[in-house]
Structure 1
Amino acid sequence: MKAIGILVAILLISCSAYQKAEYSQQSNLITLIKSRCRGKCPVYELNINTEGEALYHGISNVTHKGLFKFKLSKVELDKLQELFIELKFQEIKLQQKTKYRDVPYTTLKYKGKSHYYRSSWNSSPFKGIVEKLDELIQENVSTSNKKKHHKLTSMLLNE
């Protein structure tokens, strides 16, 4: 009977530790998704929630593949939000998706509003924001995060 009690206590402790390490998508603020093409286009997804927690998933043709979690400072998060506000992201109207072959799309979401555009458009109003998000990925997702990466990947894969 003692063994069962100890086992239950261990499970409760490990579950509560897991919940703390988990990324909360319920409070997603910003999402950046780069889609596939037939060539060597980078494919990844970045989600940032209202707490500044970021979850990067490198899928293919990227330097860092797998899941990486990092935290933005309040200043970094505020600066990102200012970029969206200055751009008037919620008010922008773009053309709908066109059916060209082999041209990847970039999806950018902010506070539930989504915009899809061709990554090759040099005149995109979102270019500055996407470049800033790419900088944050490069600064925070690195080989120094390898231990966190393997732990997070294995935790998410075992769900």
Structure 2
Amino acid sequence: MKAILGIVITVLVVSFSCSSQKNNNGLLLQITKKRCLGKCPVYDLYLYENGKVLFVGIDHVEKKGKFTFNANIQQLKKINNPLQVIHTQNSSSKKFKRIRDLPVTVFRFDHRKMEFHNQDIPKELKQINEYLEKIVFEN
């Protein structure tokens, strides 16, 4: 009986750990720029722990469609430093209220989702966003 219980517990632990890895896939950061009534850039940008960058340009961007490339070690460090500052900050934030025509940027990382109107983005996240955009449009 103890052996069967041990096997069941092992199977449950392995299945939960595998499912969490499948859900994350090594995703370090996701940035989503949402639509507005004007010509706001609309895209999804995914940065993975292994340096892979996936950019999906949707509307009002230089590159439309899916583009993949690898960020080098220096680029990852330049992104990771401000991201670590955000990780250590208090995660409590004010409730986000969408204003109809202001562009919205959504950041997903560290099991958090943070939404901002472009003028309200914290300095560290704005630096990361601008740096990643620069890398994407130069490749």
Q: In the aligned structure 1, how far is the partner of 2:126 from the partner of 2:91?
A: 14
- Give the distance between the partners of 1:76 and 1:47, measured in 2 at CA: 14
Q: 2:92 is matched with which residue?
A: 93
Deviations 1:47-86, CA, capped at 9 Å, x for gaps:
0111100100000011110000000112211221111113
Name the structure 2 match of 1:124: 122
- Contact 1:40 1:61 (8 Å CA) reproduced: yes
Q: Which amino acid aligns with 2:54?
A: L
Contact 1:90 1:113 in 2 (8 A): no
Counterpart residue identity of residue 75, structure 2: E
Number of residues paired by the alignment?
116
Q: Name the aligned partner's letter for residue 36 of structure 2.
A: C
In structure 2, runs of 5+ residues without a counterpart are 1-23
CA contact (8 A) 1:59 1:66 kept: yes
Instruction: List gaps (5 residues or longer) in structure 1.
Output: 1-24, 141-159
Question: How many percent identity over aligned positions?
Answer: 29
1:63 counterpart SS class? coil
8 A Cα contact 1:33 1:45, kept in partner:
yes
Contact 1:28 1:111 in 2 (8 A): no
Q: 2:15 maps to which residue? A: none
1:20-99 pair list within 5 angstroms: 26-88=25-87, 91-99=90-98
Measured against aligned partners, the alpha-carbon deviations of 1:18-43 in whole angstroms (never above 9, x if no partner) come to xxxxxxx6111111110000110000
CA RMSD of aligned residues (A): 2.1
Tell me the equivalent position of 2:5: none
Q: Runs (4+) of structure 1 moved beyond 6 Å?
A: none
Instruction: Tell me the residue number matched to 1:133.
Output: 132
The answer as to 2:138 corresponding to 1:110 is no
The amino acid across from 1:119 in the alignment is N
